[in-house]
C-alpha cells in the first residue's frame, strides 16, 4: 500500500511541476524553474520508493499514463486546451495499457 501512495504522490509532484512550467513560465521563469525542479526531483525520489513494492514496468507505466492524462485534462479544464476525438482515444489507450500491465503482474502473470 505504501508503494502505491508513493507512486500517486510522485504523479502529483510530476503534474504540479509540469503545470508550473505553463502557469509561471512566462511571467516568472525563476518561479517556474524552482517549482518544476523541486517537484521533478521529489517525483523521482517518490517513484524510486514505489519501485520497492511495485514492478518497475507497472509503476512507470502508471506514472506516465496517469500523469499524462491528468496534465492533459488540467490543460483542457484550466488552460483552455482542446482535445480531438483521436487524442481522447489515445489517452484512453494509455490508461488501458497501464491497467493491462498491472493486471499482467497479478497472480503469477495471469490477468
pLDDT digits (tens, 9 = 90+) for 35-89: 999 999 999 999 999 999 999 989 999 999 999 999 999 999 999 999 999 999 9
What pLDDT is recorded for position 103?
83
What pLDDT is recorded for position 106?
63
What pLDDT is recorded for position 108?
46
Would you give the end-to-end CA distance of the chain in angstroms?
A: 20
What pLDDT is recorded for position 109?
43
**Which grid coordinates belong to 6?**
508513493
14 close to 41: Cβ distance less than 8 angstroms: no
Amino acid at each position: 500500500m505504501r508503494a502505491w501512495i508513493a507512486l500517486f504522490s510522485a504523479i502529483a509532484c510530476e503534474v504540479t511541476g509540469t503545470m508550473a512550467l505553463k502557469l509561471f513560465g512566462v511571467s516568472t521563469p525563476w518561479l517556474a524553474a524552482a517549482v518544476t525542479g523541486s517537484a521533478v526531483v521529489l517525483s523521482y525520489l517518490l517513484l524510486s520508493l514505489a519501485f520497492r513494492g511495485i514492478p518497475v514496468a507497472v509503476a512507470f507505466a502508471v506514472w506516465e499514463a496517469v500523469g499524462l492524462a491528468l496534465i492533459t485534462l488540467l490543460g483542457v479544464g484550466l488552460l483552455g486546451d482542446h482535445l480531438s476525438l483521436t487524442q481522447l482515444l489515445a489517452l484512453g489507450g494509455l490508461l488501458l495499457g497501464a491497467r493491462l500491465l498491472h493486471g499482467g503482474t497479478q497472480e503469477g502473470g495471469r490477468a
